[in-house]
Structure 1
């Protein structure tokens, strides 16, 4: 009676054998296993030869169209110890053999070993000279090979890889680069099906350990017979050998003990860091997922906390050893064995989105008054706040960082929204958090100084103190929204001072002294101290924030809830429509989609406009006038040198928004108008309440025109100069034209027929 059974061999080969009584069992299994062994060996040799042909013969075209060998020169550098890492592009393998490329993606550790064997066999062919700079491990191996050659019998052929572990003999590393068609996986999309496969994942580094030596091959020496024993190590933990396994000690039963030889062992650099998925990949109500990345050799020291990285590696379970293996149960931790770590630069991931923006889409966005259209497309469900939305749009675009002679001047814009409760400050923050490609949202009461900057954590793997980045570090190259900014503790709020100006976080904790990047734009919202804004008090008294912190904000907006019948009627209709139809009311134009805005902003980030020298005098004169008015009017806001830098940042953002290469005069005028509008939101209401007289917009424009005429001998001026001066004071062209028309009707102003000159009659 014959029964068929199936078994799995250690190498992963499925064996089939027949039970033929007690006598035939051993012979049948042995015969079949020998046949499968030779078949597997033959297949491995074919694969190795195929890989060797690929490394020797693969060519690529240079810029002039000439074909050159790609990997052969690298093998020469590896043989001469001028290069350590051989990075194999899977696209190159696919061009050579698609089946081989598919096998690499499906069983990466196996083919990494085959590539290493092929490179080891090819190195003698590419070695043109002896290596002069040798380390202790080179001398150790050469000495052992020389002793073995002396003891070898005449005519005996022995492969040195059979005696010495392969990891001990190799002085190079092999890694794979993901195919160009690979799409990055979200961390929560990595499943058990990906174990052993090459994956491509993106995230932000939250924690990073120090680089430590990791033992790969342990070398022991027996105190009785002097024999050497090698122990390859593949897991984070291992049990050292204690008894000598050599034939001399076993036959003589001498019980020799093994002692570890550190200089003869093989160590590699090891580093672990954790990456967390981006905020736009986290579903609403879920906690961000994270995964550990193990880096070895040349892949270490490529990332730090707060960096946005793209990791190519193998998804593997953690192999436990010793007592932990018996107590771990059925569950296993997982990690990614890194093959390639690429730090995403300022706009690399955003340029990928911008590359999909066609010319028709760019024309559709930039047609007409696209500045107003983009601004009103930000939170269209929220009524009003036109200038605030313009400022938020410019904050999303951002300025340009400059570093003259080593001194860094930030280009990011910081904005603070102050005002009464119920004016949609938090809603604007929430919308900007969803709109920005990289963002972090937090609240002042729920955030500590450590949570905003960085925390010192004890690493469970190495028991060392490591840094884990906070909200400002995680928002590097992005936007950090802080609601309830006034509710923060004073000691926690001081941690933001360095970030808002220097764009870095200096850490000196638990023996760790370092500087982390926090190149983020801060959007804060604060409520008055006593419920509503008190115009008889200063800004710092109302918001209870220090002047040193408020001066670091480029724009301070005071949003008040003033009773106004017409405005209240429009607001109520707007809210009722949104509540009933779950969308914004009909507008003069169709608001742009959030994805289209994000892609257009990514396209704007590729521009680096400069400020022409011809505009220097205009900028200087405008700043001097701002300082003069602030001194005369006892300005409760802050007009300092930082105000001038804020104007330059706003004008650069405007030039970026229109995809310009240089800043124009109109950009500076609009930047100063936004600056004056933000100041007037605080100053105008305060001065009106103190004097008991509320000035209309028309009266304020008239005062500006009178100030222009009082400085000269003539009462006639160019209308273009009037429009420009009023724009720098925060007034729109429509408001200026209404004022001129009003006073022209009562014969206070006279305008010529060409509408180019204005004269004050009763000045």
Structure 2
């Protein structure tokens, strides 16, 4: 319905003057009156109007602001411009070049004007040139943020809020808000307010003198008398959990001006509120563009989600029934089993992935940073569901990026330097690791990456930053993410005749940065193969996991619980320090004695601490207990044992045929007794008894006796011949 301009202006002025809130002592505090005083004295630039405050005074006005934000931005700016002289208590001493320019023009105007002319000489200047403040709206708390792909044509001109991750941020440049021209014939000044990012400059002088004399004066731009504001272009991309299956992430252009610039950088998760507008070009570009129009969001409020409660996952408290459903008996096994329930087995691997999602506690004592994120590498034979596990973690984590080794370069993982199409300057565009900040980056086919590209993630895995020194840009970007990599052995399948280093073929500097390096093998086992085949056929027929003794936790509920666990900051008590130290020394001793073992360094000790604090977070406690340390060391030993078992038993394989032949020969051989003559034996004629006794085969010792685990059928030695005898079946 049509609205009266004067009536709307009166509402805006009345709200700014009369709105107040009471403090603890019951005293009235005029919130916007104090801001107007700061604006009048040039102590503040931005006036932020909270629409929740407007809703208390006039709910209808809030609806009008949300529906036609651009118009009410001008109305509130006009209201502030009229009210500022009333709130000015003293003269402003600090003056910029534009103030001096306008004062000089007013002084010249006053000298040459007619005394009978009562018009205010300031009225000839546009209001945008005289103002030194900016008006922004903060959306009401009742409005819900939209997904980028849901912001469509019906949102044009309205106040909308979108969430996403910043992929590109240009340098802050001055943008012209009011252009001032001078005529070369009559000397008159012409002012052109600019509302869009592009404009067509004026050429002919529109003054009365040039029109009357038909002198055809040309206008020349005067940058000294023009007004400029800070301008920055942002590019945000929707989060991975907001992208439907089979679609690519959508992006949106954000135009930030004034006080909203320099608030974010690539990799930050933000919530941006602003006006959704079409990009109106001028001249030849508009003719080429045709009927189509690009869109952008004019930012009013930019909120960093990294420093606040980043999403609604942490704001909604879990109900008692939901907590009881999660924290019942064996909740650790239940949470681990709820990760990719359609994948059979891999219990310990799923437990490790659960701890990766929770993460450890980050330490930053006196500037030295110790990461809390957990890095895991899954290596194994083809067809053991490594990629399926990565895909599920990518869907489960609220912030994640999924990439492959061959499809990623070092620049694509870290950051790319690109030329901005608007300003023509070199800008940074974040890669997969930057976009996965405070999340998980899943890298499949990790072994297929080139060595030069793989070295780009060394700094990320330990320092959690990406340092850039390219094209004159020297900066450091945050990449506080966990790395989940999947790789195949160097020969396609794990070769037991080769050493661990020959099978993995990854540098020690990279292996030491992984907290857990897990080898998943495809072992022939009749019973296990039968259960696996039944599981796969059931999933293929019904598109869900088979019925089990427990019901997997829903993905949304699990995501909310893990988000709640991340708020805990458990500490390691001093009583456990000696226990952890002794365990680490024992692991180093075993690594020194055994030649075929994985790389063990001081980073292994930090890995145990990270896993222990992650387990304490999972139980939602503030102190790490001994059981947490034992479980962390058990997972560490199981990951090492998965690599060492094949190598340990493969060394016995060449001896087994020789030992069996020796055993058969000695059983058929009799005791040979050779008796010499009755004369005393000489050195060459001795009475000897040769008895051949079989030599028992060496039994493998359990080097990990300190952290022994219950026997698991999935970790049995593969040379137990009795285990693989199958009953005769006529069908086969």
- TM-score norm. by structure 1 comes to 0.85
What whole-Å deviation, never above 9, does each CA across 1:720-756 have from its counterpart, x for those lacking one? Answer: xxxxx4xxx2524999xxxxxxxxxxxxxxxxxxxxx
Alpha-carbon distance in 2 for matches of 1:657, 1:347: 22
Deviates more, 1:625-634 or 1:609-618: 609-618
SS of 1:348's equivalent in the other structure is coil
State yes or no: 1:345 paired with 2:323: no
Residue 712 of structure 1: aligned partner: none
Report deviation, 1:155. 5.5
8 Å Cα contact 2:373/2:482 also seen in 1: yes
Deviates more, 1:628-637 or 1:380-389: 628-637
SS of 1:495's equivalent in the other structure is helix
Report deviation, 1:354. 4.8
State yes or no: 1:536 paired with 2:493: no
Structure 2 CA distance for partners of 1:702 and 1:476, relative to 1, 3 Å = closer
8 Å Cα contact 2:380/2:520 also seen in 1: yes
State yes or no: 1:103 paired with 2:81: no
Alpha-carbon distance in 2 for matches of 1:644, 1:702: 22
Residue 321 of structure 1: aligned partner: 282
Alpha-carbon distance in 1 for matches of 2:711, 2:108: 92
Residue 665 of structure 1: aligned partner: 626
Alpha-carbon distance in 2 for matches of 1:564, 1:290: 49
8 Å Cα contact 1:221/1:229 also seen in 2: yes
SS of 1:494's equivalent in the other structure is helix
Residue 605 of structure 1: aligned partner: 566
Report deviation, 1:159. 4.5
Report deviation, 1:306. 1.0
Alpha-carbon distance in 2 for matches of 1:165, 1:302: 30
Deviates more, 1:371-380 or 1:322-331: 322-331
Residue 240 of structure 1: aligned partner: 201
Residue 670 of structure 2: aligned partner: none
State yes or no: 1:558 paired with 2:536: no
Alpha-carbon distance in 2 for matches of 1:373, 1:634: 37
**Matched ranges for 1:521-600 at <5 A:** 521-600=482-561
Aligned pair count reads: 670
Alpha-carbon distance in 1 for matches of 2:210, 2:513: 75
Alpha-carbon distance in 1 for matches of 2:456, 2:85: 58
In the alignment, which of 129, 132, 151 is matched to residue 168 of structure 1? 129
Residue 16 of structure 1: aligned partner: none
8 Å Cα contact 1:503/1:518 also seen in 2: yes
Structure 2 CA distance for partners of 1:100 and 1:558, relative to 1, 3 Å = same
Report deviation, 1:347. 6.8
8 Å Cα contact 1:444/1:484 also seen in 2: yes
Residue 645 of structure 1: aligned partner: 606
Alpha-carbon distance in 2 for matches of 1:500, 1:81: 46
Residue 731 of structure 1: aligned partner: 709
What whole-Å deviation, never above 9, does each CA across 1:488-531 have from its counterpart, x for those lacking one? Answer: 11111111111111111112222222211111111010011212
What whole-Å deviation, never above 9, does each CA across 1:641-660 have from its counterpart, x for those lacking one? Answer: 11011111111111110111
State yes or no: 1:256 paired with 2:217: yes
Residue 665 of structure 2: aligned partner: none
Residue 439 of structure 2: aligned partner: 478
Residue 494 of structure 1: aligned partner: 455
Structure 2 CA distance for partners of 1:537 and 1:152, relative to 1, 3 Å = same
Alpha-carbon distance in 1 for matches of 2:702, 2:206: 100
Q: What's the Cα RMSD here?
A: 2.1
In the alignment, which of 447, 454, 459 is matched to residue 420 of structure 2? 459
What whole-Å deviation, never above 9, does each CA across 1:92-116 have from its counterpart, x for those lacking one? Answer: 1111101111100000000000000
Structure 2 CA distance for partners of 1:584 and 1:198, relative to 1, 3 Å = same
Alpha-carbon distance in 2 for matches of 1:640, 1:239: 65
State yes or no: 1:306 paired with 2:248: no
In the alignment, which of 113, 138, 141 is matched to residue 74 of structure 2? 113
In the alignment, which of 566, 576, 580 is matched to residue 619 of structure 1? 580
Alpha-carbon distance in 2 for matches of 1:160, 1:550: 75
Report deviation, 1:590. 1.3
SS of 1:642's equivalent in the other structure is helix
Residue 416 of structure 1: aligned partner: 377
Deviates more, 1:145-154 or 1:558-567: 145-154
SS of 1:643's equivalent in the other structure is helix
In the alignment, which of 220, 225, 247 is matched to residue 181 of structure 2? 220
Structure 2 CA distance for partners of 1:579 and 1:254, relative to 1, 3 Å = closer
Alpha-carbon distance in 2 for matches of 1:152, 1:583: 86
Report deviation, 1:240. 2.5
8 Å Cα contact 1:411/1:649 also seen in 2: yes
Structure 2 CA distance for partners of 1:452 and 1:423, relative to 1, 3 Å = same
Alpha-carbon distance in 2 for matches of 1:631, 1:151: 96
Alpha-carbon distance in 1 for matches of 2:334, 2:26: 47
8 Å Cα contact 1:347/1:606 also seen in 2: no
Alpha-carbon distance in 2 for matches of 1:239, 1:177: 32
Residue 289 of structure 1: aligned partner: 250
Gaps of 5+ in 1: 1-11, 14-39, 706-724, 736-763
Residue 713 of structure 1: aligned partner: none
SS of 1:214's equivalent in the other structure is strand
Alpha-carbon distance in 2 for matches of 1:303, 1:688: 55
8 Å Cα contact 2:106/2:122 also seen in 1: no
